[in-house]
């Protein structure tokens, strides 16, 4: 009897610190994540709003589909070119201040789209918007490492990707309403209103970031001294070693470049969805901007559901690679079906739902692989992950230009959909047969 009591007491003494840590992490999450998620939602909406403005924008500026694709892609060019310098400044001036600067500057640049009246202005400002937003996502991810222990960061990061799905879910119907009901109000075109309403709130959000977020745990007045000590110790306990291999050594890791190619192909598919879904729905026979917006939200709804379900299954089984491959394969099937049913609205929406469930959910699932490959690379791991992200972003340059060019040459987006579907299948093949043994092993669960 006494033995049983000792076991119960020991179990209780072990679970108490765990419960205290969970409660503390939950408190921090509720304090920080709502504002961060809203900021991330606007960041993703800033990437997709161009797809809803496309119809009016092309008419007003007399743009071909190739020119539209180039302008859409120039956003990513600016983002890629300035991402590394932006990250360097973030470490120098502090994450909170730099994230606030990014929010306010890209908000101003996005709102400035109301002054665009020519093709070259469209190109220039799209580049500037990308440059102003450069470093936002890495900056947010770095900020989270200052506040959450390592074994909680997976689920916290997933919340950010859910915000991107909600950007499509909320932003698509919102864009349709703006284009239909605000066009001509105050003599401002609907697509100008779209960028104005997407940019101005970012300025206010940047001010809120400065006022509400803190750079250090020690500065959080809403935490008790005991909570600050506990949280700091948990974060320090799991911090990776500050030394380690150089970036060049990380780049030489077997499978590194393969991961970069896989992410590039996934981003080709992702930007194909983000920039062209409204056009596909309109070409199938839907004219109302509101209805186009509502139907465009469906892939993002499916993506959000898939993200949650697959994320839980992946954590429960420890399997990463095969789940990513399965999701990308689902996206490829969606692209092929979208090409087959391009003139049939009902089946097209089903195809886009399948596409969204696969492509959108594949991105957070993919990001479980690079840290696993580069584990033990020390300081080189962070740089290596940034390089993989940069390689992937080139897909955002290639995809919109390629689709636009194919549509101008053939008069149809169908061939481009098939090309993207093939690219996704190549990514599947690389995931299943092109990665080293290190990425084929199962992950052990770290947190219940």
User: In terms of domains, do 208 and 250 share one?
Assistant: no
Q: pTM of this prediction?
A: 0.76
pLDDT value for 10: 42
Q: Which domain holds residue 414?
A: 245-442
User: In terms of domains, do 232 and 250 share one?
Assistant: no
Residue 361 located in a structural domain: yes
pLDDT value for 123: 92
User: In terms of domains, do 229 and 282 share one?
Assistant: no
User: In terms of domains, do 277 and 411 share one?
Assistant: yes
User: In terms of domains, do 221 and 277 share one?
Assistant: no
Question: What sections of 94-118 are H helices per DSSP?
Answer: 95-111
Structure tokens at 39: 């900021």
Structure tokens at 16: 């108490």
Residue 312 located in a structural domain: yes
User: In terms of domains, do 302 and 421 share one?
Assistant: yes
User: In terms of domains, do 418 and 343 share one?
Assistant: yes
CA distance 122 to 133: 17
Domain boundary residue, one of 187, 211, 237: 237
Sign of CA dihedral 436, 419, 73, 182: negative
pLDDT value for 150: 66
pLDDT value for 353: 94
Residue 108 located in a structural domain: yes
Scored b (16 or more CB within 10 A) or e, 274-302 reads bbbbbbbbbbbebeebbbbbbbbbbbbbb
Total domains in the fold of the chain: 2
Output the CA–CA distances (angstroms, integers) from residue 36 to 150, 160, 212, 420, in the order listed. Answer: 18, 8, 11, 32
User: In terms of domains, do 282 and 231 share one?
Assistant: no
pLDDT value for 242: 47
Q: What is the CATH number of the domain that holds 388?
A: 1.20.1250.20
Domain boundary residue, one of 211, 237, 263: 237
Residue 103 located in a structural domain: yes
User: In terms of domains, do 396 and 319 share one?
Assistant: yes
User: In terms of domains, do 200 and 257 share one?
Assistant: no
pLDDT value for 86: 79
**233 contacts: CB under 8 Å, gap ≥ 6:** none
User: In terms of domains, do 184 and 285 share one?
Assistant: no
Residue 51 located in a structural domain: yes
Classify residue 445 by burial, with Cβ atoms within 10 Å: 0-12, 13-18, 19+. Answer: exposed
CA distance 66 to 322: 36
pLDDT value for 53: 83
pLDDT lower than 50: segments of the chain? 3, 5, 7-14, 240-244, 445-448
- Contact indicator for 125, 78 with CB cutoff of 8 Å: no
- The pLDDT tens digits for 29-57 are 888 889 998 898 888 787 778 877 887 88
Residue 26 located in a structural domain: no
User: In terms of domains, do 140 and 259 share one?
Assistant: no
Domain boundary residue, one of 178, 205, 237: 237
Residue 12 located in a structural domain: no
Residue 1 located in a structural domain: no
CA distance 377 to 25: 27
């Amino acid at each position: 009897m006494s033995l049983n009591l000792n076991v119960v007491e020991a179990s209780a003494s072990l679970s108490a610190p765990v419960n205290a840590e969970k409660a503390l992490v939950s408190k921090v999450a509720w304090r920080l994540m709502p504002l961060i998620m809203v900021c991330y939602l606007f960041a993703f909406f800033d990437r997709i709003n161009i797809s809803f403005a496309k119809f009016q924008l092309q008419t007003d500026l007399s743009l071909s589909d190739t020119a539209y694709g180039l302008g859409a892609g120039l956003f990513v060019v600016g983002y890629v070119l300035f991402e590394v310098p932006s990250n360097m400044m973030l470490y120098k001036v502090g994450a909170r201040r730099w994230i606030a600067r990014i929010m306010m500057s890209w908000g101003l640049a996005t709102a400035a789209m109301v002054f665009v009246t020519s093709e070259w202005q469209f190109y220039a400002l799209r580049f500037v918007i990308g440059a102003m937003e450069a470093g936002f996502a890495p900056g947010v991810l770095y900020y989270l490492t200052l506040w959450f222990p390592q074994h909680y960061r997976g689920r916290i990061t997933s919340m950010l990707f859910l915000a991107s799905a909600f950007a499509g879910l909320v932003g698509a119907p919102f864009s349709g309403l703006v284009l239909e009901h605000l066009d001509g109000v105050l003599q401002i075109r609907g697509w100008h209103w779209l960028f104005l309403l997407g940019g101005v709130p970012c300025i206010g959000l940047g001010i809120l970031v400065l006022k509400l977020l803190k750079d250090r745990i020690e500065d959080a007045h809403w935490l008790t001294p005991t909570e600050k000590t506990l949280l700091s110790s948990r974060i320090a306990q799991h911090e990776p070693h500050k030394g380690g291999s150089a970036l060049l050594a990380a780049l030489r890791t077997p499978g590194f470049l393969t991961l970069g190619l896989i992410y590039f192909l996934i981003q080709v598919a992702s930007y194909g969805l983000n920039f062209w879904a409204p056009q596909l729905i309109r070409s199938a026979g839907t004219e109302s901007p509101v209805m186009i917006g509502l139907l465009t939200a469906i892939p993002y709804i499916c993506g959000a559901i898939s993200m949650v379900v697959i994320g839980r299954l992946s954590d429960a089984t420890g399997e990463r690679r095969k789940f990513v491959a399965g999701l990308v394969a689902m996206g490829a099937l969606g692209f092929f079906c979208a090409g087959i049913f391009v003139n049939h609205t009902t089946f097209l929406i089903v195809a886009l739902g399948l596409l969204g469930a696969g492509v959108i959910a594949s991105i957070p699932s993919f990001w479980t692989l690079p840290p696993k490959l580069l584990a033990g690379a020390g300081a080189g791991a962070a740089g290596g992950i940034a390089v993989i992200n940069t390689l992937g972003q080139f897909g955002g340059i290639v995809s919109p230009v390629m689709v636009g060019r194919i549509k101008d040459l053939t008069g149809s987006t169908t061939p481009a959909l098939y090309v993207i579907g093939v690219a996704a299948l190549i990514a599947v093949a690389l995931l299943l047969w092109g990665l080293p043994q290190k990425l084929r092993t199962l992950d052990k669960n770290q947190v219940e």
